[in-house]
Structure formats: structure tokens, C-alpha cells
Amino acid sequence: MLISIASGKGGTGKTTLALLLAAAHSDITLVDSDVEEPNCHLFLKPQWLEEEEIKVIVPYINTDLCNGCGACSAACLFNAIAISGGKALLFDELCHSCGGCLLACQHGVISEDKKTIGTIMTGTSPILPNTCPIKGTLHVGTPSGVPLIKALKEKVSHLKGDILLDCPPGTSCSMVTGIKNSDFCILVTEPTPFGKHDLELAMNITHLLQIPTGVVINKSDEGTGDKSIEMLCQSHNLPVLAKIPHSLSFAKQYASGIIPDDFKPIATSIWEQLEARRRKEA
């Protein structure tokens, strides 16, 4: 089962929950797909066994042959090619690797080249020996992590067993790419107006993608904030899978890069609920 963990608002506890769930499982792959700012490794302290560069296709313009006709530039809806000094000039950070310029050029000037946008690392963790950590890291300055997230998902697509996907925050393309095609999505929120507002945006996305969804309330204080999240979940017909209590000692341990045992029963109960779901579906 591929379980994505997303949130809308950042810093609600996606990575925390991913680690808690991994620690309570006997054999699991944990994919850090928050490629702009991956953090799972800070807790898992993995030994990386394998590193792979992820490349995207970009056009290569042979300027010696280019006559500056502008067909490629006109075909590029991302404005990644301009004509300057009678030659086509590429701005590769805007390129979406669609191949449109290649098809548009009538003079055989454009061929395909590759550009590295980040890396994928696979390893083992001495902290959680039952967990196989996989991390995507986007090169700083690369605007879009989407192709890297796609590559991560492609890499684990053939794996059997349970896979946890720690997704990027927000509700835009990188988050959508992260949760797309997952069997279940857990949205982590906090009982504040910010948490609630962004949770609703994220719920709309999982609804749009038709992904079964459950909610975890982190930093819960059983107060009015909790109530208002619960009401939101009820109105969207989504279950609250668990509440992780607000705890200063937990926050301190998190700050030092430690996965505390305190909330293991909570993680176990989430797995039981997911297991029950799986049995019901089977």
C-alpha cells in the first residue's frame, strides 16, 4: 500500500508522523519526497548505499546551424527559448522537457540533451533497521521538483509491501505530484485557524484526485481548535485517524533529531485502521 502524508500548511508534522508510522512497522520503505527541503534523514541518520542522479531532457541548440527563424521560440509556451542576436537562446530553468521545440525546428538544429536536477539516495537506517529510507534532493536553484518526485515514485512503483511518502507542503503541483495515485492519503494538521484553512484546501485536492483520505490532528490540546477541525472532517466525511497531543518534551526531542517512543501506540492504532480498511477492500 502506498500511503502519502501531506498537509497543506507546512510544519504541521508530516515528517514526524512519517517517522512514527515507520517506527511502528516491521518492514517499510520511507520515501522523502519533500525534495526542496528533505528532513527524514536527519532522524534516520542513514548510511546511503546507492546514489542516482536524476536528469531531465532539455533541448540542445546547435547555434552554428541556427538561422534564428524563431519557430522553436514560437512553439514554446513556457517562454524558455528567445531569439537573440539571430540565434535561439535557451533558458533551461523554464523548460518543461516537452520536446515541442524539437518538433518545431525545421532545420535539424535542436537535439536533446540532459540536465541533472537532483539526486535520489537509497540506504539503511541504524535508527530504524526495519525501514528502507529513500530520499530525493533537488539541486538548489532548480525551480521545479516535480520531475524528481515523479522519478522517486517511479523508483518505488515496483516495490511490494507498504510505502510511506513524506510529501511537500502546500497544495500546488509538487504536492499534487506527491499524493497522486497513492492508495491512501493522510493529511496532518494542527488545531489552529491556519492548520484548518490549509487542511480544507488539501482535502479539496484529495477529493479531486479521488484518493481515500484520513486526518491526523497533531499538537492537539482537545480545545476549540480540535473541535473545529473535527467538524470540518465530519462535513467532508473524512475520519480523524488519530490525535497527537501537544507536548513540549516531544518538540524538544524532535528539535534534536530524535524519534521519541512516546506516541508509538498512536502510530500502531493508525496502522490498525489502515489494515482494517485494506481487509474491507480485499
Partner 1 sequence: MKELVIVSGKGGTGKTSVSAALAFLAPQKIMVDCDVDAANFHLISDAVIKKTHGFKAGFEPHSNEEICNNCGKCTTLCRFGAINAGIVTSLNCEGCGVCAFNCPEHAITMQEKEAGQWFVSDTSFGQLIHAELGLSIENSGKLVSKVRQEAKKIASNNSLPLILTDGPPGIGCPAIAALSGASLALAVVEPSLSSMHDLERLAELVSHFNLPIMVCINKSTLHKENTKELIDWCNSKAIPIAGQLPYSDAFRTALQSGKTVMETDDEDVKEQMKKLWKNIAKKLDIPERKSGLTFFQGKLNPFR
CB of 240 closer than 8 Å to CB of 187: no
Q: Select 87 or 180, whichever has its Cβ closest to partner 1.
A: 180
Using CB under 8 A, pick the residue from 21, 22, 24, 36 that binds partner 1.
36
Calpha distance 5→267 (Å, rounded): 13
Judged by DSSP in three states, 241 sits in: strand
Q: How many residues bind partner 1 (CB under 8 A)?
A: 60
Using CB under 8 A, pick the residue from 89, 104, 156, 211 that binds partner 1.
104
Instruction: Report the site for partner 1 in 183-222 (rule: CB under 8 A).
Output: 190, 192-194, 197-198, 201, 204-205, 208-209
Instruction: Report the site for partner 1 in 123-162 (rule: CB under 8 A).
Output: 138, 140-145
Using CB under 8 A, pick the residue from 19, 128, 165, 176 that binds partner 1.
176
Calpha distance 202→8 (Å, rounded): 5
77 binds partner 1 (CB under 8 A): yes
Judged by DSSP in three states, 275 sits in: helix
58 binds partner 1 (CB under 8 A): no
Using CB under 8 A, pick the residue from 59, 118, 133, 169 that binds partner 1.
169
Calpha distance 234→174 (Å, rounded): 27
Torsion sign over Cα 216, 221, 223, 224: negative
Calpha distance 133→123 (Å, rounded): 6
Using CB under 8 A, pick the residue from 3, 6, 15, 213 that binds partner 1.
15
Q: Shortest distance, CB of residue 272 to partner 1, whole angstroms?
A: 28
**Grid cell in block for residue 262:** 512516546
Question: Beta 110-124 vs 162-166: how paired, if at all?
Answer: unpaired
Among 130, 117, 128, 138, smallest CA distance to 162 is for 130
What residues pair up with 42 in beta bridges, in sequence order? none
**Grid cell in block for residue 13:** 508534522
Q: Select 95 or 274, whichever has its Cβ closest to partner 1.
A: 95
Range in contact with partner 1 (rule: CB under 8 A) among 5-13, 84-92, 123-131, 155-163: 5-13
Q: Select 85 or 141, whichever has its Cβ closest to partner 1.
A: 141
**Grid cell in block for residue 184:** 491512501
Binding site for partner 1 (CB under 8 A): 7-12, 15, 36-37, 39, 42-43, 75, 77-78, 96-100, 103-104, 138, 140-145, 168-176, 180, 190, 192-194, 197-198, 201, 204-205, 208-209, 223-225, 248, 251-252, 254-257
